[in-house]
Amino acid sequence: MNTATSITNAHEASSPAPARALEGLYAVAHALFEDGRLLEATRAFRVMIRLAPTDERAWLGLGACHERRDEDDVARELYGAGSLVAEPRSVRCLVALARVVRRAGDDDAARSHLEDALAIAESLGDEVLERLVCSELEVSP
């Protein structure tokens, strides 16, 4: 069975996706991304978004695929959407969004996204996420 068939079969699974199937799909998508098979990884992450739209990993993975293909405008939209629909709100998507926006030269927007991310991390009481955001804020001018 090829990757496309595996992805299609996963997509046809009943909704919501069983956790085990979702973890398997993420593992395949991530491995494809790491192997540089970006078209296949993109497809897998898209299926994952359809199956589990509140899972930040799908949005982060799909955004990263587009970033690696130098499609920052698409990545920016994906990270922005992921930051809004992920449950809980995705600090990591906001950080990724800030990085893309900063690379485009909009330091004010990047800082704003990072400040939003910090507020969410603090509300979650997640010190690891707080440190991640603070490290990004230190990079911002």
- Domain segments of the chain as ranges: 1-52, 75-141
d(CA 40, CA 34): 11
Q: Return the pLDDT at 4.
A: 43
pTM: 0.84
d(CA 20, CA 25): 9
Instruction: Assess contact for 117 and 94: CB atoms under 8 A.
Output: yes
d(CA 30, CA 141): 32
The DSSP letter of residue 14 is P
Q: What is the block-wise mean pLDDT of the chain (141 residues), using blocks of 10 residues?
A: 46 60 96 98 97 96 98 98 95 98 96 97 96 88 55
